[in-house]
Homo-oligomer: A and B are copies of this chain.
Amino acid sequence: MPLTEKRLIARIRAQAGRGLAASSIAVGIGDDTAVLRPPRGHEILVTTDFSLEGGHFRRDWEPAESTGHRCLLPGLSDIAAMGGDPLAAFLSLALPASLPQKWVDGFLQGLLKLARRHRVNLAGGDVSSVTAGLDKVLADIVVVGSVPRGKAILRSGAAAGERIFVTGALGLAAATLNICYAGGATANLNPQPRLAVGRYLRQRRLATAMIDISDGLSTDLRHLCDESGVGAEIAENQIPVAAGSTLNFALHGGDDYELLFTAPAGAKVPVRVAGVAITQIGITTKDRRSWLQRKDGKRLRLV
């Protein structure tokens, strides 16, 4: 059977509502807008992420479930990087008419499995253009979250002389992508957003600044330092490189969705939070440039 917008919307509605507590959603799919009820005294976090077939994913490189997972992941990771709690997700889809229904089902399954795991409801969205002669899948995902007023952990809060940490291990996404480019096995990479770690750091006021690593450690460290007006010195031998990856991928590969944060020298940062390793990789500096201290003793400028 061919895809139609009506059938697709019905399918999303049916799958979205299943078995989810939705106390934060006063009105879901089916009115002019969704109505969200954030906890009293909270501010609202909003993030949007566009994923385009060919650019952000390839249908021949990974199962549809994995694509669905990876389309929602960046939004949840952004909420984690603010120390926030997700309230609801919104999915806008543009689909070629020739797309197999099976792919769409798999995509939704992967996306909704991740949503359920983090207790996020799909509260709306838009399905378009099934018949408009489009030849690529496009998904735009909005995640709305909340955080107690004034408590969001921004990129701009770091001071010089603070310690720099990352969660988990880095470089696996880039290493896997590299295997795909070389014509190797298809990818099935489903990292989890670090929501529990972000929430822990916010509740205990441990982090002064935070960002998620979506563009790669070196680039996202640059973003954090620029917004905070500091520089950084990180040590090559302290960077947690994922098994099967390389230092280069850990430094410059993207899509890891780990958290990068700073904490004052005296802050008691655990080595593990919610089952995720926390590793100090360096310190912030007054000098606004960023450096990598290599194992061979040389110092390399990070741009």
Show the binding face of A for B, using Cβ within 8 Å: 26-27, 30-38, 43-52, 54-56, 78-79, 81-82, 84, 87-88, 90, 92-94, 123-129, 132-134, 136, 138, 140, 142, 144-145, 147, 149, 152, 154-156, 210-212, 227
How many chain copies?
Answer: 2
**A181 → chain B closest CB, angstroms:** 16
- Look across to chain B and name the residue whose beta carbon is closest to the beta carbon of A150: B26
Given contacts A32-B210, A36-B46, 11 further A-B contacts (CB under 8 A): A27-B152, A27-B154, A35-B147, A37-B43, A38-B43, A48-B92, A48-B124, A49-B92, A50-B126, A52-B129, A55-B129
Q: What 8 pairs between A and B have smallest CB-CB spacing? A: A55-B132, A140-B140, A32-B81, A36-B44, A33-B47, A50-B128, A33-B45, A32-B78
The answer to whether A92 and B33 have CB atoms under 8 Å apart is: no
Complex Cα distance A92/B199, Å? 27
Chain B residues near A144: list those with CB within 8 A.
Answer: 44, 46, 144
Q: How far is the CB of A36 from chain B (nearest CB, A)?
A: 4
Residues of B within 8 A of A128 (CB): 50-52, 55-56
Contact (A90, B142) CB under 8 Å given A38-B44, A129-B50: yes
- A contact patch SS: strand
Q: Are B134 and A48 in contact (CB under 8 A)?
A: no
A47-B34 contact given A129-B55, A140-B140, A144-B144, CB 8 Å threshold: yes
Instruction: Identify the closest chain B residue to A36 (Cβ).
Output: B44
Q: Say yes or no: B152 contacts A48, CB within 8 Å.
A: no
For A138, give its contact among B46, B78, B138 (CB under 8 Å).
Answer: B138
Instruction: Decide if B44 touches A35 in the complex (CB within 8 Å).
Output: yes
Chain B residues contacting A34 (CB-CB under 8 Å) are 45-47
Do A140 and B48 touch (CB < 8 A)? yes
Tell me the complex Cα distance, A152–B78, Å: 29
User: In the complex, A237 Cα to B291 Cα: how many Å?
Assistant: 76
Given contacts A50-B126, A136-B134, contact A155 B31 (CB under 8 A): yes
B124→A33 contact, CB < 8 A: no
CB atoms of A134 and B84 under 8 A apart:
no
- Give Cα A49 to B92, complex, Å: 8
User: Is the pair A32, B47 in contact by a Cβ cutoff of 8 Å?
Assistant: yes
